[in-house]
């Protein structure tokens, strides 16, 4: 049964920002993409590097040799070691989206007032009624 973990106040992670949090002994990267929040395990499925600490980049697309365009700016994370790129929304690897994935977690944002009713776990945060919080399900 998944449990819900309060990992950050929503305004702690601005759009384009990220926070690495610990949930049940696992490091998770929480990302804000234009107001939507996403969470990935901080482990690259290739060789175990801290994936979520890599560069946040765009998706590069091309219609053919010499054509270079950016799409979905700021929605890809690149592993700090071998430069493998992953979609922050889905955890899918750009190169092999069906075969190589970083584990993702459901993320919701809820007002502190609702959270006060529980159930949730806030290991390191004190929840204030007047703020919104990022909840990771694990």
Instruction: Determine if 89 is a binding residue for other proteins (CB under 8 A).
Output: no
Per CB under 8 A, the list member of 53, 110, 132, 137 interacting with other proteins is: 53
d(CA 129, CA 114): 8
Least separation in angstroms between CB 22 and other proteins: 14
Instruction: Determine if 60 is a binding residue for other proteins (CB under 8 A).
Output: yes
* 3-class state of residue 53 by DSSP: helix
Degrees (nearest 5) of the Cα angle 97, 103, 107?
Answer: 115
Instruction: Determine if 20 is a binding residue for other proteins (CB under 8 A).
Output: no
Per CB under 8 A, the list member of 11, 16, 24, 61 interacting with other proteins is: 61
From the list 11-19, 29-37, 39-47, 120-128, the region that binds other proteins by CB under 8 A is 39-47
Per CB under 8 A, the list member of 12, 56, 72, 81 interacting with other proteins is: 81
Least separation in angstroms between CB 26 and other proteins: 9
Instruction: Determine if 50 is a binding residue for other proteins (CB under 8 A).
Output: yes
Instruction: Determine if 88 is a binding residue for other proteins (CB under 8 A).
Output: no
DSSP the chain: ---EEEEEEGGGS-TT-EEEEEETTEEEEEEEETTEEEEEESS-TTT---GGGSEEEEEEE-SSTT--EEEEEEEEEE-TTT--EEETTT-BBSS-TTT-B--EE-EEEEEHHHHTT---B-SS----TTSEEEEEE-
Binding residues vs other proteins (CB under 8 A): 41, 43, 45-50, 53-55, 60-68, 80-85, 93-96, 99-101, 103
């Amino acid at each position: 049964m998944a449990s819900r973990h309060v990992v950050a106040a929503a305004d702690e992670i601005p759009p384009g920002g990220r926070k690495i949090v610990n949930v049940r002994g696992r490091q998770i990267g929480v990302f804000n993409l234009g107001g939507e929040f996403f969470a990935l395990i901080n482990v690259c499925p290739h060789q175990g590097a801290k994936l979520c600490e890599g560069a946040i980049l765009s998706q590069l697309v091309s219609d053919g040799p010499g054509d270079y365009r950016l799409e979905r700016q700021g929605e890809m994370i690149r592993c700090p070691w071998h430069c493998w790129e992953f979609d922050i929304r889905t955890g899918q690897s750009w190169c092999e989206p069906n075969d190589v994935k970083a584990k993702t977690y459901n993320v919701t944002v809820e007002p502190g007032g609702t959270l006060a009713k529980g159930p949730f776990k806030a290991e390191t945060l004190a929840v204030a009624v007047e703020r919104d919080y990022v909840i990771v399900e694990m």
